[in-house]
Amino acid sequence: MNFTDWIPIFVVAALFSGWALLHLSRKSTTFMPKWAWALFIVFTTPLGPLIYVLVEVLDAGVHRADAEGRSPDA
């Protein structure tokens, strides 16, 4: 497998990182400061944007009520 076979993967990873940074610039964050998310996205591509989407976009990082309905905030 030569380098040209990897080009589409690099392009998709770069586009995904760009989208994550654009989304980050337009929305507020709850789990980490924006500057920390930006560094995380850039330096850990392609894993960083994926974690950003799971935690911030899909709210996987927000604490939810437990099985008995108790909220961690209460």
E strand or H helix that includes residue 12:
helix 7-26
pLDDT value, residue 65: 61
Residue 67 lies in a domain: no
Residue 14 lies in a domain: no
Residue 38 lies in a domain: yes
Q: How far is the C-alpha of 68 from the C-alpha of 2, rounded, in Å?
A: 54
Residue 51 lies in a domain: yes
pTM flag (> 0.95): no
Residue 20 lies in a domain: no
pLDDT value, residue 19: 95
**Domain interval for residue 52:** 31-60
Query: pLDDT tens digits, the chain, 74 residues: what are they?
Result: 788 999 999 999 999 999 999 999 999 888 889 999 999 999 998 899 999 998 888 876 666 565 555 665 55
How many domains, the chain?
1
Residues recorded for the chain: 74
pLDDT value, residue 10: 93
Place of tokens 């911030």: 56
Residue 1 lies in a domain: no
Residue 12 lies in a domain: no
Residue 39 lies in a domain: yes
Supply the DSSP string of 38-64, one letter for each residue. HHHHHHTTTHHHHHHIIIIIS-TTS--
Count Cβ atoms below 10 Å from residue 15 Cβ, excluding itself.
11
